Amino acid sequence: MTGLDLDTARKVLDSQPFSRLLGARITAFGDGEAVLEVDVREELRQQNGYLHGGVLAYAADNSITFAAGTTLGPAVLTGGFSVQYVRPATGRTLLARAAVVHTGRRQAVVRCDLLTVGEDGAETLCAVAQGTVLSAGTS
């Protein structure tokens, strides 16, 4: 148990200038899981009209790290992650749902599904990510 809660996670996210630029928000946080949301806007699209892959990678990275923070504590850093894009991201909102797969003393492995929500509310998987998060705290 890390003693962190959704309100604290929201404050941490809001302290990140890049997250504010994207308009990201954290909507779930706790018990090895985190959900990050970004509304799809014109300036976040690439030349074909799809949500830019960099936005998906950002959402994966941050949601993975927040999920790991629920098990490792607040002082964490991404050690690395990979993203597999499975279809173009279209819709009104991007959801990054991350869940811890394994936590050790100093690191956690986390999986993240990246989905878009359409105007009708339907969710479509557009990418899958996995990452390793390291504890930056002292032991």
CATH classification at residue 13: 3.10.129.10
The CA distance from 61 to 49, in Å, is 23
User: Does residue 1 form part of some domain?
Assistant: no
| Rounded average pLDDT over 54-83 | 97
What is the pLDDT, as a whole number, of residue 104? Answer: 96
User: Does residue 30 form part of some domain?
Assistant: yes
User: Does residue 96 form part of some domain?
Assistant: yes
| Rounded average pLDDT over 114-126 | 97
What is the pLDDT, as a whole number, of residue 3? Answer: 67
User: Does residue 17 form part of some domain?
Assistant: yes
Sheet of strand 33-39, all strands in order from the earlier edge strand to the far edge = 25-30, 33-39, 93-103, 107-117, 123-135, 76-85
φ, ψ for residue 18, nearest 5 deg: -65, -40
| Rounded average pLDDT over 11-40 | 97
Q: How many separate domains does the chain show?
A: 1
Give this prediction's pTM. 0.94
Q: Is the pLDDT of residue 1 over 50?
A: no
Residues of the domain holding 12: 6-135
* Local confidence band at 68 (pLDDT 50, 70, 90 cut-offs): very high
User: Does residue 120 form part of some domain?
Assistant: yes
User: Does residue 93 form part of some domain?
Assistant: yes
* Local confidence band at 137 (pLDDT 50, 70, 90 cut-offs): confident
